Structure 1
């Protein structure tokens, strides 16, 4: 009886549930938009009569602007408050979505997408920061699971929804659909987000780290652009890949030196990495960013290039992975609050490896049930890993440092995703080029995808190392005394 009470978890308060719903509206919209546009690039190329390198800037420009704005988000919360910045970012995203829908040329659409990325890049870390502050450490696992579910489903359902919208209504409706969601999120934010709660994240009117901004944002932009081009070209030895990568690396090294020696508060406080829970969680998020974005790139390509299935068919086959993620997210957050993140993450990594191990065996005639099962298992693993790692990243971070901690984790995950997509794209391109020289038989092309999944398997396996250093016990309440412990003592 005492143990059952010790494991009891208090229900989430209604005020917190309302904030969760508001954040879900924004994050789901961002994830859906990013994946829907990917399936429409061929349509946009024909619509505006441009070549592939030009139309790719519709997604590359969006990704670059999202990456560049993340470092400054923490400072804006300190300066203007989390609630105000959340609503401002929603408004920017909505207005930019309208501009995208009204675009009459590729350059106009690209500029609109860059502005849209500024709003989207702020929404994700702002939503996480608001929830981390509102939930407290003892409820954070369940809260991250609640917002992680629609975010993950947005990634999985985006290609299906995008294909259906482009085919049935036209590409402009991919952006028009954002408008009512933005309006609903703004109304709900004004009504349900507490000014007093979000003001607690506003710890002072700190000065902007201008030098850090001038170093970090261009560094991230250069690295992401380089990786994006490497993925498109299928190689790393081109000047348009090497030059921005070197420039980004030099600027990033300059930021590290600046952030560790400056007397002002840097954009990203690298001293947070001294906390074992934050550094290990950041390592897991970076490595799983490698895996998640890479898998999201390779799996649909296998369905279409190796098997000849339509985009809609490929999207439907991705649904089992989304279902697996949903199950893990619903269970993983609650388990994290009860038991701590380490063992859940280790199990999640193992399940992801099992699913990817099955995908390394794909061939020309691999059955659809086998592919669905592999995706389902990998989805459970991805979901079971992401939420506990996100939760652990806030474990030993001071309340005042939550906004900058959120920005740091988002940057690690974003860079991991860009790097993973680029690495697997280069590997796949190399494998396909090798079999093409032998005639490019369908069976050989399918085998090339199997070899690429081996690389994804290796990237995920490395995540075992930082996962071993995650906390193995549940978080305590803000007064450093766990509620379940109090109930156990009272029961005794």
Structure 2
């Protein structure tokens, strides 16, 4: 990024000697915070919508006369569409510019939201959720890349530490928001609530978010890679989902086909002379490989836990969706507190120190859940969730700062797309895998539901230890600007 683009708006010129001193290039000014707030609105809508429908499954099932298994596809279809869309985010931002791509993604997301509210059957709702998910999948990656481009290397770490808390809060806020809406209105408002938020985001973005030009190096779209990577990920997640539903043939076909397509994409990405949709070589370059592993496992841990705990609270403890959401709230509060801590230390403390400390806190906060069979009191669960929240906030922002601060501005969209893809895949694959483990443990434990959940949380703990192994390869010193 040029020096001019890092100066704050209204910085004095050499001809104006009487003007106040220029804003330091590493200062987080009001303009940057405003841009961050606008872009994070898109991420908020996209990530909350991944979980907001979960509390409305019974309502949708009754209204449409569909089985719970059929209605579950309302959530699964959105997830698969998100996984499908993320890989293309980097190319789209390169080709059309970051702001234009972000605005288009908002438009697709809002169109999908409106259609979902007008759905007349379970099938139509599932189809419209796919449209909504395609827009939602583009928003976090393009928003982060655009924000990093505007902020510049000197400010990326601290501003990302603020916006990165939103994906951590969304799994907690989704059920709470959904429960609140359904207590006062009908189910279409689960989707209509996006329209005013999205409209405000579009108006503000057109006025305040700078128009970052597209890349001067126009690369053709990797059609073969897109035909292998996005469907491969979606089919793999579908196969894992079918395992949890005890449908063996679709599960085997889905997992086998998905893995085959991903292997074929990797070979294609290594051999092609053109720019691949996601370059497999990125993951061999330090510190990108270690950062990718940390985000992959973090996604599995965060979204996997947010899948397990509401289910445990409602089936194991008999809580309502609203009560379950309230019990999950301490994790969101911990994440908010952790983001403040990271914002103040991210430029002073080694990334590895922050990430390893964060993983250690997640491990400490997960251990009580491996003892759910002993029915720990609510205050222990709340304290454990708060500790996990602080730990999660200490991982995402430092990892993204490492990558964004060490990569050329023109490569930011593709790097952001790769990082968000791994986080999304980690969340979806991790959740599907934990659902399989839980189903097996429920079968083995019989009536001991709490112990079945406790057994499954040992796998979450294993994910955390795997992330710790990758984090030890992160840089020991903080990023030099």
> 1:228–1:418: 8 Å Cα contact kept in structure 2?
no
**1:309 match: secondary structure:** coil
Give the counterpart of 2:61 among 42, 45, 58.
Answer: 45
Q: Match for residue 202 of structure 1?
A: 215
Give the counterpart of 1:217 among 230, 234, 258.
Answer: 230
Measure the CA separation in 1 of the matches of 2:155 and 2:350.
Answer: 12
Q: Match for residue 488 of structure 1?
A: none
> 2:158–2:343: 8 Å Cα contact kept in structure 1?
yes
Shift of 1:151: 3.0
Shift of 1:52: 2.3
* Segments of 4+ moved more than 4 angstroms: none
Matches within 5 A, 1:473-484: 473-477=477-481
Q: Match for residue 383 of structure 1?
A: 393
Matches within 5 A, 1:89-488: 89-195=105-211, 198-199=212-213, 202-231=215-244, 233=245, 238-363=248-373, 365-436=375-446, 440=447, 444-477=448-481
TM-score (ref. length: structure 1):
0.90
Give the superposed CA RMSD. Answer: 1.6
Aligned residues: 458
Measure the CA separation in 2 of the matches of 1:42 and 1:364.
Answer: 30
Measure the CA separation in 2 of the matches of 1:462 and 1:37.
Answer: 31
Question: Which 5+ residue runs of structure 2 have no aligned equivalent?
Answer: 1-23
Q: Which stretch shows the higher mean deviation, 33-42 or 10-19?
A: 10-19
TM-score (ref. length: structure 2):
0.92
Q: Match for residue 88 of structure 1?
A: 104
Q: What CA deviation, in whole Å up to 9, does each residue of 1:458-492 have, x standing for no partner?
A: 11111111101112222222xxxxxxxxxxxxxxx
Q: Which stretch shows the higher mean deviation, 393-402 or 447-456?
A: 393-402
Measure the CA separation in 2 of the matches of 1:154 and 1:465.
Answer: 27
Measure the CA separation in 1 of the matches of 2:451 and 2:76.
Answer: 29
Q: What CA deviation, in whole Å up to 9, does each residue of 1:189-241 have, x standing for no partner?
A: 1001112xx11x5243221111111111111111121122223x1x5x81111
Measure the CA separation in 1 of the matches of 2:255 and 2:191.
Answer: 32
Shift of 1:21: 1.1
Q: Which stretch shows the higher mean deviation, 364-373 or 340-349?
A: 364-373
Q: Which stretch shows the higher mean deviation, 418-427 or 314-323?
A: 418-427
